[in-house]
Amino acid sequence: MSGDKQTSLHGLHVELGAKMVPFAGYDMPVQYPMGVLKEHLHCRAAAGLFDVSHMGQVLIRPKSGDVADAARALETLVPVDVLGLGEGRQRYGFFTNEAGGIEDDLMIANRGDHLFLVVNAACKDADFAHMQAGLGADCDLEMIEGRSLLALQGPAAEGALASLVPAATDMKFMDVAVLDWNGCELWISRSGYTGEDGYEISVPDGQAEELARALLALEAVEPIGLGARDSLRLEAGLCLYGNDIDSDTSPTEAALNWAIQKVRRTDGARAGGFPGADRILAELAGGAARKRVGLRPEGRAPMRGGTILFADETSTTPIGEVTSGGFGPTIQGPMSMGYVTAENATIGNTIYAELRGKRMAATLTKMPFTPANFKR
């Protein structure tokens, strides 16, 4: 672990008995004494607190002073309707490359006179360089230092945060707001990575531990590590960058068409104009050769990333591969996601995985594996 960075909450994690592991260049908690299974179920039933301070936080300020200019500039890098994003609102997006692959996925927020982005930890330096090269002529960019990022997730998240910051109750899914707590400025979004209601909270490093302790002092809130974060997001059918999506995967292959608004598609008012537009727009119209799907394996054995998939029990020609898999504590069984050829991507189809020299059946299933509980 030598050389790994530490978040401002590192000491608190150790105090709470966390098992620490290297992740994206940081020393991060993978689980606490409660254990991954109970942490997962607690987040689904009450509220879990995650340290996600390793993520990148970026401000994009238009040199003109008009946030619409920053939005137009960012649209040259993402196939997303940024210009139509209302003040105080956030949406999901991704950077694409010239081949139509996904360089990273991210959250984009309109904060009135500037944009606020949250990007993945492992990609944040490359993302910042990419934005600086593409937007630097029109915008001033800042990679935020000195602010931690906490995620409070679960059906009890609203009540927990509202006991400290009452105005958080007024926020709807994908709202963003700057709210005060003990004289401290919190940057809050009502969003998350678990499929549950919840919030992501950017807080100055100096107040992060105080805020975390105040939340953990509430009966509903327990600390949650990276292990449960992964099983929660997989049950929610959410992609993990580097596993389920990468620079070779197009948005259409990844079943992320919903994140490309009509205005950026063929015949839209601002169609194209982003890297890889020719391939992506063609696939939106005609489909991709493969598709990301959900899988429910038979039996109890999980089908994990790298497992090869076949159309039947005897075929020697692979039709795809699992990219993420594990046990779903909420659904009480194994779950996986991966890619199969388009002709084999029909929901309800049975396909087969090669596990320890044997063919094991799995059924193609709609995602999410467990229903989302966002506050609309």
- The pair of structure tokens assigned to 341 is 């050829």
Claim to verify: residue 160 and residue 127 sit in the same structural domain: no
Task: Report the percentage of the chain scoring pLDDT > 70.
Answer: 99
Pairing of strands 147-153, 47-51: antiparallel
When pLDDT is averaged across residues 144-158 and rounded to a whole number, the result is 98
Q: Which residue in 312, 337, 309 sits closest to 321, CA to CA?
A: 309
pLDDT tens digits, one per residue of 103-137? 999 999 999 999 999 999 999 999 999 999 999 99
Claim to verify: residue 29 and residue 173 sit in the same structural domain: yes
When pLDDT is averaged across residues 261-279 and rounded to a whole number, the result is 98
Claim to verify: residue 271 and residue 200 sit in the same structural domain: no
Are 266 and 119 a contacting pair, CB within 8 Å?
A: no
In a domain, 140, yes or no: no
For tokens 């993302």, name the residue. Answer: 127
In a domain, 241, yes or no: no
**Total length of the chain:** 376
Residue finishing a domain among 85, 102, 134: 134
The predicted pLDDT at position 1 comes to: 40
Sheet harboring 89-96: ordered strands across? 89-96, 102-110, 115-119, 56-62, 139-143
Q: What is the Cα–Cα distance from 374 to 191, expressed in whole angstroms? A: 8
CB neighbours (10 Å) of residue 145? 7
CA 125-128-129 angle, to 5 degrees, is 90
pLDDT at 352 over 50: yes
Claim to verify: residue 47 and residue 60 sit in the same structural domain: no
Residue finishing a domain among 200, 235, 270: 235
The predicted pLDDT at position 4 comes to: 86
pLDDT tens digits, one per residue of 17-61? 999 999 999 999 999 999 999 999 999 999 999 999 999 999 999
Claim to verify: residue 222 and residue 118 sit in the same structural domain: no
Claim to verify: residue 226 and residue 274 sit in the same structural domain: no
Are 323 and 243 a contacting pair, CB within 8 Å?
A: yes
Domains contained in the chain, number: 3
Secondary structure (3-state) at 263: helix
pLDDT at 183 over 50: yes
Claim to verify: residue 43 and residue 65 sit in the same structural domain: no
Claim to verify: residue 93 and residue 190 sit in the same structural domain: no
Range of the domain at 313: 257-365
Q: Which residue in 303, 258, 266, 314 sits closest to 286, CA to CA?
A: 266
Beta pairing partners, 321: 308, 339
CATH assignment at residue 323: 2.40.30.110
The predicted pLDDT at position 252 comes to: 98
Concatenating the DSSP letter of every residue in 320-352 gives EEEEEEEEETTTTEEEEEEEEEGGG--TT-EEE
In a domain, 229, yes or no: yes
In a domain, 353, yes or no: yes
pLDDT at 142 over 70: yes
CA 372 to chain centre: 14
- Between the alpha carbon of residue 336 and those of residues 30, 67, 230, 325, the distances in Å are 20, 40, 12, 4
Claim to verify: residue 97 and residue 172 sit in the same structural domain: no
E-strand stretches of 47-100: 47-51, 56-62, 89-96
Work out the end-to-end distance of the chain between its first and last CA atoms, rounded to an integer number of angstroms: 41
CA 267 to chain centre: 29
- Between the alpha carbon of residue 173 and those of residues 78, 177, 220, 232, 321, the distances in Å are 22, 12, 21, 18, 33
In a domain, 60, yes or no: yes
CATH assignment at residue 79: 3.30.70.1400
The predicted pLDDT at position 357 comes to: 86
- Of all helices (H) and strands (E), which one includes residue 296? strand 290-297
pLDDT tens digits, one per residue of 61-113? 999 999 999 999 999 999 999 999 999 999 999 999 999 999 999 999 999 99
In a domain, 4, yes or no: no
Are 115 and 71 a contacting pair, CB within 8 Å?
A: yes
pLDDT at 2 over 60: no
Q: Full-prediction pTM beyond 0.85? A: yes
Claim to verify: residue 40 and residue 60 sit in the same structural domain: no
pLDDT at 3 over 60: no
Q: Name the pLDDT band for 343 (thresholds 50, 70, 90).
A: very high
Residue finishing a domain among 202, 235, 268: 235
In a domain, 245, yes or no: no
Claim to verify: residue 188 and residue 318 sit in the same structural domain: no
Q: Which residue in 168, 273, 223 sits closest to 7, CA to CA?
A: 223
Claim to verify: residue 46 and residue 83 sit in the same structural domain: no
In a domain, 112, yes or no: yes
Cβ contacts of residue 259 below 8 Å, gap of 6+? Answer: 80, 91, 92, 93, 94, 251
Average pLDDT of the chain to the nearest whole number: 97
The predicted pLDDT at position 48 comes to: 98
The predicted pLDDT at position 376 comes to: 80
